[in-house]
Structures are given as structure tokens and as C-alpha cells.
Amino acid sequence: MTRRKTKNITGLSRIEGIRYHDVWIGLICLSCGSLNNIRIGLKLLDPKTTYETAEWECVKCGYLHSKNSDLPFEHWNEDFTVAESIKAQRFWEAFFRIATEHPESYWKQCNTCGRILPFSAFSKHSGWGPLERQMECRSCKGAINAVLNPKRTKEQLHESSIRRRIADLLLEGENETIDMEDLFKRFDRCCFKTKQPLDSNRRDTWAVDHILPSKWLYPLTKENAALLSTEANNNKRDKWPSEFYTNNELIELAKRTGADLELLSSKTPKINTIINVDKCVGRYLQVRERSHLPKRINELKKILVDYNLVDKLSPGNKKLLGFIK
């Protein structure tokens, strides 16, 4: 698969022997404040059992984190700190629960920089280990991506966000209103990528994937909409479908939406040339009355040239934009 190739191209080597699927506990010592990391293995802990049995010893000061230990807080009253008190027991219960209750509670070791880092330092990788996170941390991923996409400098990222914004403006009025209930039905109320069930009432947990991105001038339509979890959609963003979905997923997607499979599976992005460029340009020039017109025209001309769409303009618009005299 591509992963092996990636490794060779980047020249960034992985650290041998790191068990990157393993979960770790991150523990700030109650007594000395040091960070301790304890390797747990491939199974997440059960909070209740952990409270009953854990004995986590601080490597720095030796304090034992266990429900049988007195709390080491000198400024607390003794009736709160003696292990036998109900107050201390409630403390311990919550203490072990915080460290174990969710996948997000855990830590993990990056096999590229070797650091043990909290859950949020790793990006999603479905089906990978108990935490379903990638083997390298997001910082290392940044370095790897810089090698893979050396052209994406800060300036180009800016350029690309302008392009996206202009494309979005051009498409205003071309987008259809999506019937969400119908969308949920078509996707069996599950994220198409991760298959996790989604609840239409919890609006922050799901998103409509613009399958063929607006950046390449595809409006949002019934055929161009997929149901994704918010997280999967954040990973998808502006990606061309074949960069994000597997071949099997593309086939399934075309079946469910009626989209053109050949287009979805094309290796490189294709600009939507079926769109009525004249109509879009007319609308683009009219909306947002108060924004800076010369700048707007320049940005528009650039995208029309880059996307090879100048020939699709009417003589009137060609003249208006200064493509012909």
C-alpha cells in the first residue's frame, strides 16, 4: 500500500519496536506533580476495576496512587485525606475514572518522534488499535506531509483558501437544499466512512459531505451529498473523492447517490465544466455589494484562467472582465 512508499519518499524513519497501538495512562502525581506514563497494552481499562485494583507508583517520588493511600494534600483537612474516609474514596473513584473512562482519556506513543502524547495529538485512523489513531503524532505528520506536498507553502495554502471561497461564491444559487431525512435514510443513519450510527437530532455529530468539492465547482446536490460523522468530514474536507474513499466505498457511494462512478474514481480532480459559468459570474459580481470590486474581479479572473473556463464566457462577460477588447 502507499504507506510503505511514503516512508521511503520522506526519509523520516520510524522508531523500531514502538508498539504504536498500545494505550498508555497519563498520570500527574498527586504528591510531586510529575508526569508519569504507564503502558497498559491493547485493552482499555475498566474504571471500576481500576479503582479497585490499581497501584500506580510515581517514578519520581514513589507516591502510590491507590484507593488505599491517604491523599497527600497538606492543605486539606484530615477527614478528607485519610484513605478510609468516604471523601477520599470518592476522590479516588473519580481519579481513576478520569484516567480510563473514554478512549480520549488515554495516551499513546508516536513511532516517529517517540514521545508519549495525549489522545488528541494523533489523528483518526479507523480500525487501528483500540484508540483508532495514527501511528505518528500530528506534529510528525506535519513534517511528513511537508515532504509529500512540498509545494503547499503558506502562500499556496492562502491561495487555495481564496480559490475555495471564490468557488463557493460562484456556486451560490446552484446548490440544492438537501432533504436531511432523505439523506439519513439513504445512508442508513450511519457515517458512510466509519459506519458509526448517527442521530439526526445531534447536529454537531454529523455533516453533509460535498462529495465532489465545491473548490472544483461542483454544487451541492442530492447526487453530491454523503452523510459523514463530523470527524470523518473534517478529514475529508476539500479532498477529491478518490483521495479519501476506497474503491469499494466509491462504488457503494455511486450506488447510493446516483453519482458518476468514473468521475468519483478519477485519480486527479476534474473541474466541473458543465456549470453555467456566465450565470455564476453574473451572480458573483452582483453579490456582496460593499466588498472591494477590483480585488474581487482579479481573484475571479485568476480562477477562470486557472480552470480554463474563459472560453465558456459570453462575449459580453469576456469584455466586461477584460479578456477581450
Q: Which of 107, 98, 91, 103 is nearest to 26 (CA)?
A: 107
- Alpha carbons within 13 A on the beta-carbon side of 155: 2
User: Cα–chain-centroid distance for residue 184?
Assistant: 21
Minimum distance between the CB of residue 107 and Zn ion, rounded to whole angstroms? 13
Minimum distance between the CB of residue 62 and Zn ion, rounded to whole angstroms? 7
User: In this structure, what are the phi and psi dihedrals at residue 157, rounded to the nearest 5 degrees?
Assistant: -65, -40
Site string for Zn ion, 283-322 (x = CB under 5 A): ----------------------------------------
Q: Which stretch binds Zn ion (CB under 5 A): 22-30, 72-80, 208-216, 295-303?
A: 22-30
Residue 112 is a binding residue for Zn ion (CB under 5 A): yes
Q: How far is Cα 259 from Cα 250, in angstroms, rounded to an integer?
A: 10
User: In this structure, what are the phi and psi dihedrals at residue 41, rounded to the nearest 5 degrees?
Assistant: 115, -150
Site string for Zn ion, 33-52 (x = CB under 5 A): -x------------------
Site string for Zn ion, 123-142 (x = CB under 5 A): --------------x--x--
Residues, the chain: 325
Minimum distance between the CB of residue 71 and Zn ion, rounded to whole angstroms? 13
Minimum distance between the CB of residue 29 and Zn ion, rounded to whole angstroms? 3
Minimum distance between the CB of residue 134 and Zn ion, rounded to whole angstroms? 10
C-alpha dihedral over 244, 250, 255, 256, to 10 degrees? -10
Minimum distance between the CB of residue 78 and Zn ion, rounded to whole angstroms? 21
Q: Which of residues 49-78 bind Zn ion (CB under 5 A)?
A: 58, 60-61, 63
Among 25, 29, 198, 303, binds Zn ion (CB under 5 A): 29
Closer CB to Zn ion, 63 or 323, in the complex: 63
Distances (CA, A) of 207 to 92, 225, 228, 234, 250: 39, 10, 5, 9, 18
Q: Do the strands 23-28 and 206-210 form a parallel or antiparallel pair, or are they unpaired?
A: unpaired
Among 88, 110, 250, 277, binds Zn ion (CB under 5 A): 110
Closer CB to Zn ion, 137 or 304, in the complex: 137
Minimum distance between the CB of residue 57 and Zn ion, rounded to whole angstroms? 9
Per the CB < 8 A criterion, the answer to whether 267 and 250 are in contact is no
Q: How far is Cα 303 from Cα 284, in angstroms, rounded to an integer?
A: 13
Closer CB to Zn ion, 35 or 162, in the complex: 35
Cell for 4? Answer: 510503505
Cell for 251? Answer: 462504488
Q: Which residues contact Zn ion by CB under 5 A?
A: 29, 31-32, 34, 58, 60-61, 63, 110, 112-113, 137, 140
